[in-house]
Amino acid sequence: MLGELNKGRYRALELLADHLRESSRELRLNAIICDVSDEDLRWVTDRVHYFLLKILEDDIYVPTEDALDTCTED
């Protein structure tokens, strides 16, 4: 999988890691509906966030200077 990492996928991982840092309202509502506790949801999202950051830190894909430009919101 990591051998297939390119600029776009790297940026997508960065974006996903940012969004996983805090659970969305929709995810929290789905957790309530599916009877998943806040504690369990937080535990899982923390672990997924951690592993995404580890993938981003891995030396398998070294982004160029252009790839490091981040997406900005107005």
Q: What is the pTM of this model?
A: 0.64
Residue 14 forms part of a structural domain: yes
Residue 70 forms part of a structural domain: no
Tell me the C-alpha distance between 46 and 28, whole Å: 14
Q: How many domains does the chain have?
A: 1
**Tokens read off for 41:** 């949801």
Residue 73 forms part of a structural domain: no
pLDDT (tens digit, 9 = 90+) per residue, 16-66?
Answer: 888 888 888 898 999 999 999 999 999 999 999 888 888 888 755 555 555
Host domain of residue 7:
2-60
Residue 44 forms part of a structural domain: yes
